[in-house]
Amino acid sequence: MASKLNPYISFAGNAREAMEYYHDLFGGNLALNTYGESGAPAEGGNADQIMHAMLEGDHGFTLMASDVPPGMEHNPGTNISISLSGDDGDLLRRCWEKLSDGGTVAVPLEKQMWGDEFGACTDRFGISWMVNIGQPG
């Protein structure tokens, strides 16, 4: 898989509805994973909420989303992160180093329960980034 850049939108409990709407609009394949399916602790009744959604549209559009977990703030209109993902670990680690330098790391870049390396940060310009390094396939 080549590296790619795509938006990642956070929702306040209606990610499933929104992503199904975008699926109807863009076509393609929609994958929805809930907090409960992932094994994450169900807090505040969020087991059926979306931990990660990925829509790969028919025309090359990719859109990712999730419901904000309890305890995290949701700010409509400012709830977009830019996601870098792929299996070129060297490239994506270099990107992570530059993006996190002088910024704030929310989740350190490290192996996660789903098997990939993942990190989240806000760069020195206030832009939220997520980096996900998948296993070469």
8 Å CB contact between 38 and 51:
yes
Specify the pLDDT at position 89: 93
Distance CA 35, CA 70 (A): 11
8 Å CB contact between 62 and 54:
yes
Percent of the chain with pLDDT over 70: 95
Q: Exposed (0-12), middle (13-18) or buried (19+): which is 47, by Cβ within 10 Å?
A: middle
The residue type found at 65 is: A
In this predicted structure, the answer to whether residue 43 has a pLDDT above a threshold of 70 is: no
In this predicted structure, the answer to whether residue 23 has a pLDDT above a threshold of 80 is: yes
Domain definitions of the chain by residue range: 4-133
Q: Which residue, chain included where needed, has tokens 């704030």?
A: 104
Q: Exposed (0-12), middle (13-18) or buried (19+): which is 64, by Cβ within 10 Å?
A: buried
- Tens digits of residue pLDDT in 77-136: 777 888 888 999 999 999 999 999 999 999 999 999 889 999 999 998 788 899 999 987
Q: Which CATH class is domain 4-133?
A: alpha beta
In this prediction, residues 69-77 reach a mean pLDDT of 77
Percent of the chain with pLDDT over 90: 48
